[in-house]
Amino acid sequence: MLSLVTWNVRGIMSSSVCLSELFKYTNCDIAVLSEHKLFNHSLQFLNTLDNNYHSLGIADTSVNIETSKCGKGGVAIMYKKTLKFNIKPINCPVSERILGIEIQCNENYSIFVFSVYLPADSNIQNYKYEMNIVEDYVSNFSKFGPVIVAGDFNTSCRVTDLDRTNVNKSIVFSDFMLRNNIIPVNASTLRDASSFTYIPTRTLLDYFLVSEELATDVISCENIPEGTLSLTSDHLPVFLKLSIPYVCNSTNSCNNVWPSWRKASESSLGAYNELTNKIADQLLDLPLCNLSDLDTLACKLTDKLKDCANETIPSGSFNPKPKPYWSDKVKQAHTAERFARWKWINQADPEGRTFLLTSNTNLRKTNSGIVNVLPIMPTWTILTVKSTKQLNVYTPTENAKFDSDFKAHVTEFVDRTLESCATNNGLLPGGEITLYEIETVVRNLKLRKAPGYDKLQNEHVRYSGSKLHTVILRIFNAVIRFGRIPLCWKHGLLIPLFKGYRTELDLVFNLGDKSVNISTETKHLGILRTVDLSPSTDIQHSCRKGRNAYFAIAGTGSCLLNPLTVCGLYNKIVIPAVLYGCELWNGIKPKDIRCLETFQHFIVKHIQGFPKRTRSDMCESMTNLERLPILVEKRKLMFLYKLCEMKAQSLTKQIFIYRLFQYFGDTSRKQHGFIPDVTNILSKYSLLNFLNSYMFTGCFPTKLQWKNIVNGAINQHEKHRKEERMRSDNDFTRFLRLSENNGYDFIWQYAKYTGRLRTAKHVAKLWSTPPTSGNCNLCGHFVQDTLYHQITMCTELQTQRHLLYKRLSEMTSDNFLYTLLSKSDEYVSCFLLGNHEALLDFLTPEHCLDVLNEGFSYLTYCRL
């Protein structure tokens, strides 16, 4: 036999007792769970919930605890560890609402079980979409063996439910079952409309769908009735048993029902009271001489109380408004108030208004009166607190120097207690616990609280008869006499919770009686630093800040602005924000440099509207932007000037001088921080002699001089390196050729001068696209260089080209055109793309711009 259960749990964590009860009650082999807010940590929790089960699950990744009240839903499957079959998970990468397992019964026979959770909202497209995914899986796997689909379908396929469920979804659902020959077992065997799984509308939303071939194997399928397992979920579990050759499990264990104290009438409470009194007589007759007597008595007391309640108190059901103060009284007041308000608004009835005012205060009174009795602690805990109540537990606020005094206090207390016990026949101070004390505690027990492991609620004790209090009294005094608490009171459901891997430690120092928190951040020179002084987090933070700052200005219509203008803004606004405090980024690692570079590369491409794959060196050159790591170095060098020029009395200067001489003088000590960092930069640009002469003469260049020296040295070095990089790379050949006589930013300067930004953007893309061979986008022929081909050869552009030549010859002379066209394709292309150098002799400066305009207009037809 194979037994399965499906349930929409509603709160895995809060239903932990109910869930473990479900496993006990059904002893099922497989549990198919859905939950509308299944978080990752709940999945960890499922694994630890019951030792006998393995769990698989998909958390709802779209749930955000802070922003979203209700997630889409998650699914989980739990299966017995003792299952003899091979179990393989089937994951669905496209949906978080479906999860499956393959139960491999033998080499040739597998059953596939899917847990699904379909959308609850009324968006039918979304529902169809998710249902299609489910159908894909079902139809695929049913080729290999029988399929069982279980879960919350969020619609009913029963005709009797149609007026209370979403009909459109119901049609989709029914079609799905028809097409795939699967049968809703719990809907067909229980045609009874009084059976349902969703309590608020009394409809059947949770199903076991099985392949036709399995239908004959169904032994039973039932909806576990209201009140059996849980008061928290508004769904009922469905329990399916299949006769599949399988090692049988042990029979179902305890089968008791939760009493609903709220539903209990005066008479049923009276009956309970009477019954407990009768029980008390039996319990008082039991012997209480040793520890095992105590255990038996306590155990029996717990069991009998539950039995009494089951006999006399009606069983519970789900309460859709589970606020503890929402009693019938409040509900009546609320309804009356709503009615009066409706009357007042619709019929302009002044009586309604007066009623409303009084009823509002009524409602509030009713509310507050009941709110005050909110329950807090479970039954036995409250009762057992009594014996420890007499101890005056020490709190550190009592005395500032607690060590010696506290020790004296404890010693004295222990002595006094022992002494008093000796004179009191071994009893605690204050003598035996009295019946009056017990009654007081019982009277004050808070109601409507979740029970502990023994499932005994405070109501069980509170409504019990007075004779039963004597039993409790007997047990408590025996506990004190024997010095041991009954075993069954110590039982609890212990569930280890996965709390995630903590990275930060919450350490607290005590300094005297004050606690001092350890901080992982501190301000250094006005800039917040993390404890390890590594610049990585600072740099990441800076880049994030820069990105936000950039988008703040980019949002103002930068696509209509010349990229050079946007870069100006970027330099003035974003760069200072990013580089704020960069003087302290000591020991920058290659990955930090990459972080800075990536940030700026992204931005220059965004500014110019270039695709991501465009070479970053080109993008930066075309806007005359300096690389960020270079800017950091420049700033560090300027910071060095500031330190050198500081007044000699200042502490910062003294420390700087001290560490500077220590660095050069005591080479055995490895120094970290600004000085080694800046020394490296100086030596990189051969500027170390300035620092040397400062150390010996105390003279440093002026601010302006130093700035020029730094810029001169770094810019030259950088220019040299950049050109070297570009020259060695084939992608740059055309770009370099086009810009060699014009400057890298030629196109944007042209746009600035003529205002033809759109044309310039198109040409800029042609400039920055690396030369490639391939099929021409216009005529489809395979060509050596697509751009040169399109400009000079492509048949698709013939008309436009002839028009261009005509205009050019009109503008200049036939002779000029002739000279031009006698050159190579590459030469002509580069000429039209803006490289006029070679032909400048033939053109007057005013012609130059006209020719450029014509050429660029023609180039807008090119498509790379």
Closest residue by Cα to residue 130 from 151, 112, 144: 151
* Residues with catalytic function: 117, 152, 235
SS3 content of the chain, % helix, strand, coil (to 5): 55, 10, 35
Pick from 643, 858, 671, 673: nearest CA to 759: 858
Which CB atom, from 440 or from 777, has the smaller least distance to Zn ion?
777
As a whole number of Å, the CA-based R_g of the chain is 41
Question: In the complex with Zn ion, which residue's Cβ is closer, 271 or 793?
Answer: 793
35 labeled part of a ligand binding site:
yes
**Residue 328 counted as an annotated binding residue:** no
Distance (Å, whole) CA 18 – CA 16: 5
369 CB contacts (<8 Å, ≥6 apart)? none
Shortest distance, position 826 Cβ to Zn ion, whole Å: 16
Q: Closer to Zn ion at the Cβ: 691 or 776?
A: 776
Nearer to Zn ion, 30 or 862 (CB): 862
Contact 604, 615 (CB under 8 A): no
Distance separating alpha carbons of residues 390 and 393, to the nearest angstrom = 9
Shortest reach from residue 618's CB to Zn ion, in Å:
25
Would you say 182 and 210 are in contact if contact means Cβ atoms under 8 Å apart?
yes
338, amino acid identity = R
Q: Say how many residues make up the chain.
A: 864
Q: What distance in Å separates the CA atoms of residue 42 and residue 11, rounded to the nearest whole number?
A: 9
DSSP type of residue 540: H
**29 is annotated as contributing to ligand binding:** no
For residue 173, give both structure tokens: 């659902």
User: Closer to Zn ion at the Cβ: 579 or 776?
Assistant: 776
Q: Are 103 and 110 in contact (CB under 8 A)?
A: yes
Give Cβ neighbours of residue 721 (< 8 Å, ≥ 6 apart). none
Beta carbon of residue 782, minimum distance to Zn ion (angstroms, whole number) = 10
Q: Is 781 annotated as ligand-binding?
A: no
When the beta carbons of 78 and 794 are compared against Zn ion, the nearer one is: 794
- Stretch binding Zn ion (CB under 5 A), from 104-112, 534-542, 551-559, 769-777: 769-777
Q: How far apart (Å, rounded) are the C-alpha atoms in residues 129 and 126? A: 5
Under rule CB under 5 A, which residues in 770-809 are in contact with Zn ion?
776, 778-779, 794
**Beta-bridge partner residues of 89:** 101
How many chain residues interact with Zn ion (CB under 5 A)?
A: 4
Of the two residues 687 and 794, which places its CB atom closer to Zn ion in the complex? 794
User: Closest separation between CB of residue 805 and Zn ion, Å?
Assistant: 18
| Closest CA relative to residue 583, chosen from 680, 715, 677, 705 | 677
Query: Is residue 346 packed enough to be buried (19+ CB in 10 Å), middle (13-18) or exposed (0-12)?
Result: exposed
- Closer residue to Zn ion, CB minimum distance, 598 or 777: 777
Taking the complex as a whole, the smallest distance from the CB of residue 794 to Zn ion amounts, in Å, to: 3
Instruction: Count how many Cα atoms sit within 13 Å of the Cα of residue 445 in the half-sphere of its side chain.
Output: 26
* Sole residue written with tokens 């207690």: 417
For residue 733, the minimal CB distance to Zn ion (Å) is 21
CA distances from 193 to 158, 229, 439, 612, 740 (A): 9, 21, 47, 62, 86
CA distance linking residue 236 with residue 466, whole number of Å: 37
Quote the least distance from Cβ 860 to Zn ion, whole Å: 16
Is 121 labeled as ligand-binding?
no
- Which residue stretch of 539-547, 569-577, 724-732, 768-776 sits at the interface with Zn ion (rule: CB under 5 A)? 768-776
Closest approach, Cβ 800 to Zn ion, in A, equals 12
The residue (of 753 and 782) whose beta carbon lies closer to Zn ion is 782
Q: Is residue 774 helix, strand or coil?
A: strand
Phi-psi bin for 237: left (phi > 0), alpha (psi -120 to 50), beta? beta
Distances from the Cα of 785 to the Cα of 411, 747, 777, angstroms: 96, 22, 12
Strands (E), 153-302: 182-184, 206-211, 218-223, 238-242
718 Cβ contact list (under 8 Å, min separation 6): 626, 627, 630
Nearest distance from C-beta of residue 101 to Zn ion, angstroms: 57
Q: Among the residues of 91-221, which ranges form H helices?
A: 124-141, 167-180, 185-188
Q: Which residues form the interface with Zn ion (CB under 5 A)? A: 776, 778-779, 794
Residues in binding site for Mg(2+): 8, 35, 152, 154, 234-235
